[in-house]
Amino acid sequence: MTTEKITAEERIRKMITGSPGLPEDGKGLLLTGNEYVSLPEIGPGGEIGSLNLLHRGARGLLEFRGTGKRALLAPRVKIAGEELLREGESFTWSYRQDWIAHGEHRLEGRCLIESDIFAPPGHRGCCCRLRLTNLSPEPLQAEAGWQGCWGEFNYLIFSRRPVEGTRAVWYDSWTKSLLLEGRSGLPLAALALNLVAERPADRLLPWELSGGSRGEGDKQGSADRETLYRGAVQLSLAPGAAAAVTLYLGANLEADGAGTTAVDLKRRGVETLAAKTTGWLQSRRIELDDSAAAALLNRNLFFNYFYALGRALDDDSLVPVTSRSPRYYVSAAFWSRDTLLWSFPGLLLVDGTIARELLLTVFQRHLERAGEHAHYINGTLLYPGFELDQLAAHFLALERYERVTGDHSLIREKAIARGLERLVEKALAQFDPESGFYRTFLDPSDDPVLYPFLIYDNALLQCGFSYLAALQAADRWEHPVDLAEAAASLQQTIYRLGTVKGPRGIMFAWAVDAKGRFQLYDNPPGSLQLLSFYGFCSPADRLFRNTTAWIRSPDNPHFHHDCPFAEAGSLHAPAPWPLAACNDILALNEGGVDFLLRAPLDNGFCCETVDPHSGKAATGAAFASAAGFLAHALWWHWHDQQKPAVREGCSREEQ
């Protein structure tokens, strides 16, 4: 079933415009950010509900937040004493270069208000800019600026918890910034708000403070009181004239560092920072013949880059996570699957150098607990439970890196070479000599398995062993186990004991006990549809085609077939998965591209599941790591159509 197609920009605009306030359910929210700063809750009126920062010493995210009724920051415009941005009034929003939030609010015959919110790559901070244009025939006297409330300083790993300590707010005359410092004994993180009038004739008004700390030099703060603040610039606008004000937000470990960071942003200037941000995005944007697909691809490409990855505030190290948005229910933690199977292919489309650093980071920081369910961002164990697909993900990511970049030097890094040895040991420890399979405790949605041998997991490991065997054959890596033999034996075992008679012919089972019992099932976060994509079999393999046909049929009780957004669900999350649509694309199956182009998702960003009738996010909003897989799947579809000779989903023999 199809509906009228609209562009991605139109779809986002329809979702966002006209929603009053800052909704707790996430409807109408925009987001943006860079390596250091995440702005995951930008409301329709341009209000910033929260800002967060990665902190590896704290093992999670530190969040500056307003309250349920007041945003951390909200734009404010007053003309002739009248507030023009009343509560509930919205900008018309779009994304420039697919990542810079740009809003317009037009009052016919009076003025045009434009808002831009962006975080320049490489800087510990972001910029908010308001631009007013006088549309009237008379001069206008205006005030433009921001007001806000700091009501919470939170710690985020999965759930949000308040940091016990002090929230201090004061004006610093040295940096000319309003400083917000969160402490738990020592300072943990700070923001500096530096408001600038861009024309010399415009007058900067003093910051107004109420509640909590106030006044220059008052740094004591209060842990239990909201602090309200307001800053503005007085503007005089001739008919047809325009003027702008900029708020520079600097972030650092404590207030002095935040203040000087804001000063650095101000010295560079908003025009330079905007041009740098635009240039960075333009140079990495992927062009497609279909403009709606290109907008969806690039929106999710940058979302993955900045929200499934970041730099820690305390040591500048690279930090891979599921999502930096607290709207994702298991945010601020590390999953090998999320990072190496979903996020990594998208990351490679943006920056091969960062992809290389990421692999080194994972092998250095997360190897000892490789294969375990979830880690804290410092590498220690967060959620126990062995998952074979997460172990195999390390091999597949390294292979993909070498194939895409042509860089074969990583294997010479001690962390990689020794890491591969440790990963093979971990894999062999799961070997069942009686059946020839390898066990797993949890499945790709992190749930206990019915039978211990998952065909998808074993197929991924077989592909990983084949890659390692190629390294051995080329004398690039040594290991006492003949991994070519291990790969061949496992492939034979899968075809011998992992295939069964299904409703549409002989097909791959989901799970077996190797004693005759099996499970017909498929799971979008680790689908049998991906066997050809990873190289286990050819896309034309008859058993594979029977399997993919069953997955997208009424015979599969978890496939939503009679609804506008027909796609596979799972036991873990029953509604249709956008990841399932990605799997369709990579399996050369039907439905995937159309599904993604029609579904609103989470305001255009990837989510875990969608409502089968509306296509809007049902569970797992702001799913940043999956956004990388979505972007890659769309890229692969158009890349495959243009250059079929380099199709990634063919078997190794065909390559």
Q: For position 7, what pLDDT does the model report?
A: 42
Instruction: Give the whole-angstrom CA distance, residue 655 versus residue 650.
Output: 7
Q: Taking the CB of residue 1, how many other CB atoms lie within 10 A of it?
A: 9
Please determine, for residue 247, whether its predicted confidence score (pLDDT) is greater than 60: yes
Question: Percent of the chain scored above 90 by pLDDT?
Answer: 87
- How far, in whole angstroms, is CA 110 from its chain's centroid? 39
Please determine, for residue 22, whether its predicted confidence score (pLDDT) is greater than 50: no
Q: For position 81, what pLDDT does the model report?
A: 85
Instruction: Give the whole-angstrom CA distance, residue 653 versus residue 655.
Output: 5
Q: Is 265 exposed, middle or buried (0-12, 13-18, 19+ CB in 10 A)?
A: buried
Say if CB 292 and CB 5 are below 8 A apart. Answer: yes
Say if CB 513 and CB 453 are below 8 A apart. Answer: yes
Give strand pairing partners of 30: 42
Question: Percent of the chain scored above 70 by pLDDT?
Answer: 91
Please determine, for residue 23, whether its predicted confidence score (pLDDT) is greater than 70: no
Instruction: Give the whole-angstrom CA distance, residue 383 versus residue 467.
Output: 29
Return the minimum-mean-pLDDT range out of 20-24, 132-136, 580-584.
20-24
Q: Is 185 exposed, middle or buried (0-12, 13-18, 19+ CB in 10 A)?
A: exposed
SS (H, E, C) 531-591: CCCCCCCCCCCHHHHHHHHHHCCCCCCCEECCCCCCEECCCCCCCCCHHHHHHHHHCCCCC
- CA-nearest of 227, 203, 74 to 145 is 74
Query: 3-class SS at 117?
Result: strand
What strands lie across the sheet with 111-118, from one edge to the other?
A: 92-96, 100-107, 111-118, 125-134, 242-252, 186-197, 177-184, 166-172
Q: For position 482, what pLDDT does the model report?
A: 98
pLDDT tens for each residue of 188-230: 999 999 999 999 989 999 999 998 655 556 666 665 678 999 9
pLDDT tens for each residue of 454-512: 999 999 999 999 999 999 999 999 999 999 999 999 999 999 999 999 999 999 999 99
Q: Is 6 exposed, middle or buried (0-12, 13-18, 19+ CB in 10 A)?
A: middle
- Average pLDDT for 4-22: 35
Give strand pairing partners of 506: 501
Structure-model confidence comparison of residues 84 and 133, the more confident one = 133
Please determine, for residue 647, whether its predicted confidence score (pLDDT) is greater than 70: no
User: 155: pLDDT confidence band, cut at 50, 70 and 90?
Assistant: very high
Domain boundaries, the chain: 9-284, 291-646
For the chain, give the mean pLDDT.
Answer: 92
Residues 6+ apart with CB under 8 A from 94: 9, 12, 13, 102, 103
User: 451: pLDDT confidence band, cut at 50, 70 and 90?
Assistant: very high
- Average pLDDT for 406-418: 97
Q: Taking the CB of residue 13, how many other CB atoms lie within 10 A of it?
A: 17
Residue appearing with tokens 């603040």: 229
- Average pLDDT for 367-384: 98
- Structure-block tokens of residue 242: 């325009």
User: 640: pLDDT confidence band, cut at 50, 70 and 90?
Assistant: low
Beta strands in 69-158 (DSSP E): 74-79, 82-83, 92-96, 100-107, 111-118, 125-134, 140-150, 152-157
- Average pLDDT for 550-554: 96
**Pairing of β 203-204 and β 227-237:** antiparallel
- CA-nearest of 606, 555, 615, 553 to 584 is 553
- Structure-block tokens of residue 460: 């991924």
Question: CATH classification of 291-646 is 1.50.10.10, yes or no?
Answer: yes
Instruction: Give the whole-angstrom CA distance, residue 105 versus residue 114.
Output: 6
Please determine, for residue 11, whether its predicted confidence score (pLDDT) is greater than 60: no
Give strand pairing partners of 125: 250
- Average pLDDT for 332-360: 98
Instruction: Give the whole-angstrom CA distance, residue 619 versus residue 444.
Output: 17
Q: What are phi and psi of 546, to 5 degrees?
A: -60, -40
One DSSP character per residue, 19-42 reads --S--TT-TT-EEEE-SS-EEEEE
- Average pLDDT for 620-633: 98
Structure-model confidence comparison of residues 324 and 639, the more confident one = 324
Residues 6+ apart with CB under 8 A from 185: 165
Please determine, for residue 633, whether its predicted confidence score (pLDDT) is greater than 80: yes
Say if CB 525 and CB 577 are below 8 A apart. Answer: yes
The residue type at 112: L
Q: For position 216, what pLDDT does the model report?
A: 59
User: 80: pLDDT confidence band, cut at 50, 70 and 90?
Assistant: confident
Judged by phi (left if over 0) then psi (alpha if -120 to 50, else beta), residue 111 lies in: beta
Q: What are phi and psi of 138, to 5 degrees?
A: -115, 155
- CA-nearest of 115, 74, 73 to 94 is 115
User: 96: pLDDT confidence band, cut at 50, 70 and 90?
Assistant: very high
Buried b (16+ CB within 10 A) or exposed e, 82-96: eebbeeebbbebbbe
User: 302: pLDDT confidence band, cut at 50, 70 and 90?
Assistant: very high
- How far, in whole angstroms, is CA 15 from its chain's centroid? 20
Half-sphere exposure of 463 (CA within 13 A, CB side): 31
Q: For position 645, what pLDDT does the model report?
A: 30
> What is the four-CA torsion angle of 646, 649, 650, 652, rounded to 10 degrees?
90
Give the H or E element holding residue 485.
helix 483-497
Residues 6+ apart with CB under 8 A from 519: 450, 451, 509, 510, 511, 512
Give the H or E element holding residue 353.
helix 352-365
- CA-nearest of 35, 78, 36 to 245 is 78
pLDDT tens for each residue of 395-405: 999 999 999 99
pLDDT tens for each residue of 594-623: 999 999 999 999 999 999 999 999 999 999
Q: For position 590, what pLDDT does the model report?
A: 82
- Structure-block tokens of residue 369: 């607990």
Q: For position 650, what pLDDT does the model report?
A: 31
- Average pLDDT for 574-585: 98
Fold of 9-284: Beta-galactosidase; Chain A, domain 5 (2.70.98)
Say if CB 148 and CB 22 are below 8 A apart. Answer: no
Residues 6+ apart with CB under 8 A from 169: 150, 178, 179, 180, 181, 209, 212, 213, 214, 221, 227, 229
The residue type at 85: L
- Average pLDDT for 544-550: 97
Say if CB 12 and CB 604 are below 8 A apart. Answer: yes
